[in-house]
Structures are given as structure tokens and as C-alpha cells.
Structure 1
């Protein structure tokens, strides 16, 4: 367990693999912590420095009062990578993590040499939807929304398995201020114009059963960046690295090698 005591926030992170290797950074989705990538990490090629972190208000990272802006979440990632002296990383972001990755690449190209936008987009949902979720979270907690969230996260076959309960527990144990704060950050974000100006290797990944960021929404964002590539995974929902880590690892490893990151 590692904690970066930064000026504005204490961030929980892991720093594994080859300390001298090319860095790859993982940013997880709304309602999850860095364990989202547990199945994937052992399948990555050797020689990488693998950094994962819990965003503000999630996992073991400090929660501050909501709402948050996307700029705040991007600054958190920026501060952590500066603290760890990371440059030229491959940034892999899922859902809100993909939005953070877009914002970081827009702001600090010295930190990001390649970007994976997984199950994410330049804009996700409408403010009315997010405002309703924020109210429910702060007034009643996350548990009452859990069934609907899990339906969007996972395909039916996965939801029928025993592992689902662990993911439910992860979701409902997130800090309500952190969850609501990140909902507000997503609600206020529209990266269509700045993302269209990115000029770096970009890979998009979508799941054909994703109820949160459907494939067409993901593809629309990926197509903004010239030379980008899009991969559709079959039979999985919003968290494909959980449901089918083997396919996810194969897609990601191909991109890692194509970009010369190992």
C-alpha cells in the first residue's frame, strides 16, 4: 500500500513491475477502485512499470466534499505522476478514467505518449441524469442504485455468477461524497473539441453489452483523433477487463507493442 501525500489530497496508488520500465498508468471507473485491473495486470508484457491509483473519493484515496470538476480530477492525476517522476506514459482510462486521460493528454503531452479510451467518451450522459444520481447518492446512498448500475456494468452471464456480489460490495462501499463528486465531474465535461485536437496514438475499447457507454458513443469519440483505432469486445459490458481479461489483455498488448512502449 502506497500513499502519495500531495498538497491537496492523499492518493492511494500501486507502483509495480520494472521500476526502470516504460510506465503504463491505469485509471478506473466510477464506483470502482484500483482492483478493477487485478485480473489484467498479470497478463501484461514484462518490462513495464505499472501504476494504478484510486481517484479522489474512491477506494483508499481521500474523499473531499462534492462536487468535483474534471479539472480537479485531471490535476490529481497530474500531481501523482509528477510526484512519481513519470513521463511518456501510456495512460489507460476506463469510463471516467478515460475522461481523465483525455484531459491529461490535452493538458500535459509530456506525461502521456499514448492513450487508451476504454468504455468512455468525450461526453457521457446529460446533466439531468447526473443530477438525479447525485441527489440519490447524497440523500439515500449508493445501495439503492446498485442493481441498475450492475446491469450496465456487466452482461447477463456474468451477473449470474458468484463474483457479482464482490463488485456490488465494492460499489456500495464507495464514499458517497466521492461518488457524487465524480458524477458532477462527468456531468460538467464535454471534451469533443479539445479531444479532436489530440495528435498521439489512441486506442478505443468498447463492450457490445455496455449500458453506460454504448459502442457507438465510444467510437464517435475515438474517430475524433486521426489515426486512432477502435476495438469492439463481444459479450461484455462496461468493465470488459473484468469480464474478459484475456481478450482485453491481447488488445492492449498489441497497442503497447505497436506504439513501441515495450
Structure 2
């Protein structure tokens, strides 16, 4: 088990592959930990350095007092990149991870070779929605939103097959205060202006069955970024790296090849 103290928080991470290989860093969605990428990894090209990490307040990373901000979480990612001695990383951010990636690219663009914004946007939801969710979990716990969240995360077919149950348990076992602090970060984030100024290679990914960040929302962010392209995975929900890992890996591999990262 690997941890690094970054910006006053112990961050849990996994680091696989040759030390001198091109690096890809993965940032998880709200309510998940770094295992969300497990099904994807076998489908990626050999010879990459793969770094996954739990953002503060999630998984095995430290739960520091909130509220958090997206810029703070992006600075954590930058700190971990520097701690590991990496340069020119391709950053893959899912959901809140996509917000983190946009801020990271705007604030620490020298660290990145490319950015993948997955099932995310420059702004996700509104303050009222996030405030209601925070109030609900503080009153009734994360289990109170578990079933409804699975409906947004996964397609009906995936849920009907019983595959969502472990992911619901993962959500419900996250640190409540850390989850709420990340909700507060999302509620306050409106990255349209800084994302419009990004000039690095960017690929966006969406799923047609995504109940949290539907394709039109993701497409709106793609339209902000010069040269960005959007791929939509048919039938996949909010976490396509779980539901459609092969298709997700194909998109990511094509992007890595396009920018000379493999």
C-alpha cells in the first residue's frame, strides 16, 4: 500500500509499470475509490506507467476537514505527480475527476501531455441540487442515496444483471464527511472560462445511459475546447470504465496513440 503526504493530506495511490514509461494518471468519480479502474487496466497497451489515486476524503486517503474546492483537489493531483517525479502525464478524470483534470490543466498545464474528461463537464448540477444531497446524507447517511445513485451510474441492463450491488456498497462505505466535502467542491465549480482557454490535447467520453452527466452536457464542454473530440459509448452509464471497459480502453488507447504517448 502506497501513500504520499501531499498538501497536508495522506493520499493513497497505486503505481504500476516501468518507472521510465509514459505515465497515465486516473482520478476517480465521486463515491468511488481507485478500484473503479480495475476492469479497464487489462485492456490498455503494455508498457505504460499507470498511476491511480484516491482523492482526499475518499477510499484510503485521508479525510481532512471540508469543504474542499476543485482547485484544491487539482493541486493535490499536481502534488502527487511531482512527488512521483512524473512529467508530461496524460490525466484521465471521471466525473469529479474530470473537473479536477480541467483545473489541473489550467493551473499546472506544464505537467500534462493530454487530458481525458470522462462523464464530466465544466459545470455539473447546481447549488440547490448539491445542497439537498449534502443535507440528505448528513441526516440519513450515504445508504439513503445508494439505490438512486446506482440508477444514475449504471444502465438498466447492468443493474438488472445484479452487477451494481458491489458499487453501491462501495459508495455507502465512503467517508461521509469526505463525500460531502467533495459535493461542496462540485457545487462551487464553474470552470467554463478556464476550460475554454485549454490548449493541450483533450478527449471527452460520455455514455448514452448516463443519468448524471448525459452526452449533451459533456458535448457542451467539448465545444468549449479548441480541437477537443467527444466519443460516446452506446448503452453505458456514468462509469463506463466499469460497464464497458473494452470500449473505454479502445477510446483511450486511440487518444494515446494520436498524441504519441504509446
TM-score by length of structure 1 reads 0.98
CA deviation map 1:169-207 (0-9, x unaligned): 100000001100000000000010100000011001000
The whole-number CA distance in structure 1 between the counterparts of 2:182 and 2:237 is 21
| Match status 1:177 vs 2:177 | yes
Segments of 5+ residues of structure 2 without an aligned counterpart are none
The whole-number CA distance in structure 2 between the counterparts of 1:156 and 1:174 is 24
The whole-number CA distance in structure 2 between the counterparts of 1:159 and 1:59 is 23
Which residue of structure 2 aligns with residue 18 of structure 1? Answer: 18
Which residue of structure 1 aligns with residue 47 of structure 2? Answer: 47
Which residue of structure 2 aligns with residue 219 of structure 1? Answer: 219
Q: What RMSD, in angstroms, separates the aligned Cα atoms of the two structures?
A: 0.8
Quote how far apart the aligned CAs of 1:66 are.
Answer: 2.3
CA deviation map 1:52-80 (0-9, x unaligned): 00001100001112211112111111111
CA contact (8 A) 1:24 1:91 kept: yes
Equivalent position SS for 1:47? coil
Paired residues in the alignment total 262
Which residue of structure 2 aligns with residue 210 of structure 1? Answer: 210
Segments of 5+ residues of structure 1 without an aligned counterpart are none
CA deviation map 1:138-188 (0-9, x unaligned): 221110111111000000010012332110110000000110000000000
| Match status 1:130 vs 2:130 | yes
Which residue of structure 1 aligns with residue 29 of structure 2? Answer: 29
CA contact (8 A) 1:137 1:179 kept: no
Equivalent position SS for 1:110? helix
- Segments of 4+ moved more than 2 angstroms: none
Which residue of structure 2 aligns with residue 255 of structure 1? Answer: 255
Which residue of structure 1 aligns with residue 74 of structure 2? Answer: 74
